[in-house]
Amino acid sequence: MIPDHDFDDYRNRRVLVMGLGSFGGGIGAVKFLVARGAIVTVTDLRPVEKLADSLAELRETPPARLVLGGHQKSDFRAAELVVVNPAVKRDCPYLNAAIDAGVPITSEMNLFWKWNRAPVIAVTGSNGKSTTTAMTYAIVERLVQRQPGRRAWLGGNIGTSLLPQVDQIQSHDLVVLELSSFQLVDLDRLQASPHVAVVTNFAPNHLDWHPHLEHYREAKQALLRWQIAGDVAVLNDDDDDVRCWPVKADRLGFGLQDTGGLGVFYANGDAVVRRKTDEQRWPLRDWLKLPGRHNIANALAALAATVSVGADAACVQAAIENYQPLPHRLQFVGEVAGRRFYNDSLATTPESTEVALAAFEAPIVLLAGGYDKHVDLGRMANQIALKAKAVSLMGQTAAALRELITTCDQQTCEASQPQPSFTAAFEWALAHSAAGDVVLLSPGCASYDWFRNFADRGQQFTELVLRQREASQK
């Protein structure tokens, strides 16, 4: 077991932040530690020009020292605390150097959990967790508006570090966090117990990081492991794996099929909200504007989580009716020459692409593929073969996907050869589309081979669409 730290005063402590990152975790840790008087060294494999945006955010709280373009084991041995990016594998030789020197290891989320005073609604899952988290926060915002002096906070894997603001979070506030399996591996060491834990679903993922599927499952189950009676566990009853997970908290289910149990279920367009004391039906399909049954499931999970902390029909309706989809999650980019373009770059798992394909009735020209996480792409390939008009294949998985798609028995999809670049992939998709089609970026794979991250991939797609629109207007 890698030790975490047990000290509360960071003044003049030598703290090493490993991995500045682009989504706020490393930045949040540096801001928090510098403000508390720590002597902070930031070390990152990327050179300064690749970290310019992140470094710009640290102008007012600069670290004492930057080591960019590589790591040095001597820095890890000399530190009194190492704050590691959650994506770094725990058998990393630099972390081993720190451990061998007796240096405790922590993470941005572990630091937040140590200092946060407010109850937490935490969301995890293989797919849908970002949308579920955002919907949950939207409802919680409406709830706390009725209670002057109370505030809702959103953070975690969704891209916002709350660590620099942790002192502003009061014990009567509500925090909504999205948590990845990487973050949960670390939080398990703290026996972290959210007041409400939500598991959207479970499917193989990140097997390039987790040594095997059971390790990934155990990481996800850490969200439930340390809960007690009086806490709430919200589990997907449609998921054969998740619905059997052990819980110690009060259990609520959710699902597109009504099991008759306690929780929130879908029936004839309504959310059936079933508690120990009563049962209500809310017209969810009338309120929810997002496409796809997967978004109904996401909303059901959010409803179950928020009903457990006091949300009623009025605040749920106001939140869901006004909910805007997350960037890069089935986000409508625009229409050009009769083609509708959707950015679903956040679809980094095969299951996410499968639900995106099911969300549209129009013919789909898909852009798919990317970094190889060593997960099974067979079912996704089958769904592409059956439901896409054409697919432009990208990245490390392109050749394997093409082989799987073209050998499907009922395949009606035209699959490209592996594309040499993202621009080429986009142009191929455009050339194979027609008026009335949906051109959909839903890769089903991570972005790391061609892009900085999924947001960079989605932004490049958006820019190509806008460029195409400008060209069509000339």
For the segment 221-250, the average pLDDT, to the nearest whole number, is 98
DSSP conformation class of 4: P
DSSP per residue, 171-220: TTSEEEEE--HHHHHHHGGGT---SEEEE-------TTTSSSHHHHHHHH
- Tell me which residue of 109, 123, 219 sits closest to 178, measured CA to CA: 123
pLDDT band of 1, cuts 50, 70, 90: low
Query: Quick one: pLDDT at residue 191?
Result: 96
pLDDT at 236: 98
Q: What is the pLDDT of residues 172-192, one digit of tens each?
A: 999 999 999 999 999 999 999
Rounded distance, CA 270 to CA 285, Å? Answer: 6
Q: What are the distances in angstroms from CA 394 to CA 300, 378, 383, 418? A: 34, 16, 17, 6
Confidence (pTM): 0.85
pLDDT at residue 24 is higher than 80: no
Digit-coded pLDDT (tens) for 280-291: 999 999 999 988
DSSP structure string for 406-461: HT-TT---EEPPPPSSHHHHHHHHHHT--TT-EEEE--SSBSTTTSSSHHHHHHHH
Tokens of 338: 């009769």
pLDDT at 473: 83
Q: Is the pLDDT of residue 325 over 90?
A: no
Beta-bridge mates of residue 250: 232
Check residue 53 and give its pLDDT. 87
Q: Which CATH number fits domain 14-106: 3.60.40.10, 3.10.50.40, 3.40.50.720, 1.20.1280.50?
A: 3.40.50.720
474 pLDDT above the threshold of 80: no
pLDDT digits (tens, 9 = 90+) for 257-311: 999 999 999 999 999 999 999 999 999 999 999 888 999 999 999 999 999 999 9
From the options 2.40.440.10, 3.40.50.2300, 3.40.1190.10, 3.40.50.300, give the CATH code of 112-321: 3.40.1190.10
Which ranges in the chain are annotated with CATH 3.90.190.20?
331-472
Q: Indicate the average pLDDT of the chain.
A: 95
For 380-421, what is each residue's pLDDT tens digit? 999 999 999 999 999 999 999 999 999 998 778 999 999 999
- pLDDT (0 to 100) of residue 50: 85
Could you tell me the pLDDT band of residue 23, with boundaries at 50, 70 and 90?
A: low
Write down the pLDDT at residue 22: 67
- Within the chain, all domains assigned CATH 3.40.50.720 are found at 14-106
Per-residue pLDDT band at 448 (split at 50, 70, 90): confident
Q: Superfamily for 331-472? A: Mur ligase, C-terminal domain (3.90.190.20)
Contact 207, 226 (CB under 8 A): no
Write the pLDDT tens digit of every residue in 112-143. 999 999 999 999 999 999 999 999 999 999 99
Parts of the chain belonging to CATH 3.40.1190.10 = 112-321
